[in-house]
Amino acid sequence: MSETTEVINELLTGFGLNDSYRTSSLELLEAGESRYLRDLKVNFNSILTSEHLSAKEIALIAISVSVNNHNKPLIAYFTQMAQQNEATAEEIAEATACASLLSSNNIFYRFRHFTQKEKYSQIPARIRMQIMVKPVTGKEFFELMSLAVSAVNGCEMCVNAHEDSLIKLGTTEERIFDTVRIASLITATGKIIF
């Protein structure tokens, strides 16, 4: 067995997937004996710890990003991690709901930002967002999940608004930075494991 295949098998085992599981991306990396797989493994492992976020918070952010990215293996992995770190079914559901809500908001507000037309800012959005008013996970943490999804979806207006809200709520820049770092690495992993 090649070193590349060994690294793939270690990754798959970590996700609870069978050694024979392959995506087209994994097949290409394996055929080319890509050194990137070692980076991917190290990067993924760095998602699992933070000096500024608890394991439960990491798992919930990861669920939200994984749902946003339609990644079944990662959703399953991080749901299990969340449960092992005492996340409730309601908190896991809220992380899932956050991904859905923010996807609509990111499209809508990105459109407003792109067009820069005052008229579109005057028309009511008519997007119901009651979950944001009193989130189960708390306002600060819901803002962190919202920031993560918005960063992945590339909505500048939303990223700025959520980051500003977090700063006003007293969140440290290190906590914000770790959230976005985790979102970026989950998205990168999801390009290979899906």
> Could you tell me which residues come within 8 angstroms of residue 138 by beta carbon, excluding any fewer than 6 positions away?
none
Phi-psi region of 76 (alpha: psi -120 to 50; beta: other; left: phi over 0): alpha
How much is the pLDDT for 145? 98
pTM of the model: 0.94
Cα 34 to chain center, whole Å? Answer: 25
What is the dihedral angle through the alpha carbons of 133, 117, 113, 162, rounded to the nearest 10 degrees?
-30
**Section 92-100 average pLDDT:** 98
Whether 41 and 102 share a structural domain: no
Look up the domain containing 11 and give its range: 1-47
As a whole number of angstroms, the distance between CA 141 and CA 3 comes to 40
Q: What confidence tens digit (pLDDT) does each residue in 17-68 have?
A: 999 999 999 999 999 999 999 999 999 999 999 999 999 999 999 999 999 9
Whether 72 and 168 share a structural domain: yes
How much is the pLDDT for 17? 95
As a whole number of angstroms, the distance between CA 119 and CA 20 comes to 55
Segment 191-194 long-range contacts (CB within 8 Å, at least 24 positions apart): 191/25, 192/23, 192/25, 192/26, 192/29, 192/40, 193/11, 193/12, 193/15, 193/17, 193/23, 193/26, 193/71, 193/73, 193/74, 194/23, 194/25, 194/70, 194/71, 194/72, 194/73, 194/74
Confidence at 117, pLDDT banded by 50, 70, 90: very high
Whether 42 and 106 share a structural domain: no
Confidence at 73, pLDDT banded by 50, 70, 90: very high
How much is the pLDDT for 32? 97
Confidence at 174, pLDDT banded by 50, 70, 90: very high
Whether 108 and 145 share a structural domain: yes
How much is the pLDDT for 1? 84
- Least Cα distance to 171 among 136, 146, 134 occurs for 146
Whether 39 and 61 share a structural domain: no
Q: Is the pLDDT of residue 151 over 90?
A: yes
Whether 156 and 75 share a structural domain: yes
**Section 146-164 average pLDDT:** 97
For the chain, what is the mean pLDDT?
Answer: 96
**Section 146-171 average pLDDT:** 97
Q: Which are the catalytic amino acids?
A: 155, 158
Fill in the amino acid letter for 190: G
How much is the pLDDT for 118? 95
State how many domains the chain has: 2
Q: Which two tokens stand for residue 29?
A: 């990396």
Fill in the amino acid letter for 62: A
Whether 35 and 92 share a structural domain: no
